[in-house]
Chain A
Amino acid sequence: MKPQNIFILLFALFLFACAEDGQSSLTPETSISGQGGSLARFSIVGNYLYTINSDQLNIFDISDASQPFLKNTQFLPSNDVETIFPFSNWLFMGTETGMLIFERQAEGTVQFISRYDHVRSCDPVVTDGEFAYVTLRATGCRNAAEGAVDVVEAISLEELENPQIIGDKELNSPRGLALDNDVLFVCDGPAGFWVFDVSTPGTFETITKVENINVNDIILRNGIAMVIGPNNVYQYDYTKLPTLTKISELELE
């Protein structure tokens, strides 16, 4: 193999390793971690596994992947935390009443930054660091308060200490969501899923929508959207939006 080719190969491997664990920034690493959806309560960043357990964030040191140990327990200012989403040095948590933002710090500790509250419902969160998107689901949410609605909200993180809602869009019963640059995918339960252009902050411009499937959560990876519903795993190629091409549908009966 020519040295040039080896270089290209190494570079490709390097890129691949980055993509596998793109949310790590505190610790450089060679280990490869998987990728969860927005409904996850477990998340690996750097050498730590962050887990949510109602009002606790348990932080496990996994520098030796085979022998994790509990490094730290952080009590959360909310006893209904449902999801965790890491971005850069932050941890975003979806709670039944909104969103919490923590900063990851050295030695497996975290620092509370801020919270954003709304009416009690069910809601995961994703972010690109500039904006956060949360879905609020009242339909089929056992603890939803009266007046809770089914929407996706855009929240500005310009002031991280003071997150502000800048826009929303009403949906049917939104659940998991995922963001790739300015393209936001939102699972809408039995109503299918939406693909929105969110390049204009606070607006949700529909690029396309897939109907007649029931979906809960989604992972975006290398131009493929992996979408999970109660009985199926669907995969779509989204590199040629607004065209969304179904690659496969696995029915798990």
Chain B
Amino acid sequence: MSTRLLFFLLLVSLSSCFERMVDIPEETIGLAPIYGEESDKLIQLMDPQPIVSLYKIYYKAPYIYAGETGRGVHIIDNSDPSAPKKIAFLQILGNSDIAIRDNYLYANYENELVTININDLDNIEIVSRLENVFDKFVGDLFPEGYSGFFECVDPTKGVVIGWSEKILLEPQCWR
């Protein structure tokens, strides 16, 4: 084998190192998965909740629905766009998408399409559940819309319903 070829191979192997290898810090701040417990498997309207990582946006006057993949949607009163106000959190475990017609909000919940009457936010009502219309949500294996280190998901611990900031020791996952 010629020296040139060896040099070339070395370069190739090095370049693949540069692409693949990431310096894993001994300690860093990143995200860790929050695993859902049985009690979380509820669809309910809650007081405004802290957010971890928003991803999708939906609008129907006068509200903005800021989606948090796997957890649900933050409902924001946007009657005055110069002063939007977080008013509630609609928890829907395993949710990724919503759509709204009139007073009805459609959402994926596990393998179901759930229809929720949101006419009265203090008294929401599930009016329809269609089962087996979606693949069951198994939780995100990575935090959507995030770049950086995170704690790898351990599927044996359950469904990932969200992510929280945490000090990570030698994190093995990143994106």
Contacts and interface: CB of A to CB of B under 8 A. Distances in A.
B146 A35 contact: no
Interface string B53-94: 111111111001110000000101010011111100000000
A228 B133 contact: no
Interface string A208-236: 00000000111101001011111111010
B61 A253 contact: no
Nearest to A53: B134
A195 interface: no
Of B61, B101, B115, the most chain A CB neighbours within 10 A belong to B101
A161 B81 CA distance: 41
A35 B65 CA distance: 10
B168 interface: no
A60 interface: yes
A39 B133 CA distance: 20
Nearest to B106: A49
Contacts of B56: 36-37, 39-40, 216-217, 228
B97 A41 contact: yes
A53 B135 contact: yes
Interface stretch (A2-10, A66-74, A125-133): A66-74
B147 A68 contact: no
The range of chain A's interface size is 35 or more
A34 B86 contact: no
A233 B57 CA distance: 9
A215 to B, nearest CB: 9
The range of chain B's interface size is 35 or more
B163 to A, nearest CB: 10
A121 interface: no
A228 B54 CA distance: 7
A42 B106 contact: yes
A247 interface: yes
Contacts, number: 163
A34 B130 contact: no
Nearest to B98: A42
Nearest to B107: A42
A250 interface: yes
A230 B53 contact: yes
Interface in B146-168: 146-147
Nearest to B58: A36
A156 interface: no
A66 B53 CA distance: 30
Given A65-B104, A247-B82, A231 B60 contact: no
A240 interface: no
B59 A35 contact: yes
A13 interface: no
Contacts of B101: 31-34, 44, 49, 62, 65
A33 B130 contact: no
B27 interface: no
Contact of A42 (B64, B82, B99): B99
B127 interface: yes
Of A34, A35, A67, A218, the most chain B CB neighbours within 10 A belong to A34
Given A51-B133, A233-B57, A233-B64, 12 more contacts: A34-B58, A34-B100, A44-B100, A54-B135, A66-B127, A66-B128, A226-B78, A232-B54, A233-B54, A250-B76, A252-B86, A253-B50
27 contacts: A34-B99, A34-B100, A35-B60, A36-B56, A36-B99, A37-B58, A39-B56, A40-B58, A42-B98, A42-B99, A43-B99, A49-B106, A51-B113, A66-B115, A66-B128, A67-B115, A68-B128, A70-B113, A189-B147, A216-B55, A219-B58, A224-B81, A228-B66, A230-B53, A233-B84, A247-B82, A250-B85
Interface of B: 50-51, 53-61, 64-66, 74, 76, 78, 81-86, 96-104, 106, 108, 113, 115, 117, 127-128, 130, 133-135, 142, 145-147, 175
Q: Which 3 A-B pairs have the closest CB atoms?
A: A34-B60, A42-B99, A34-B100
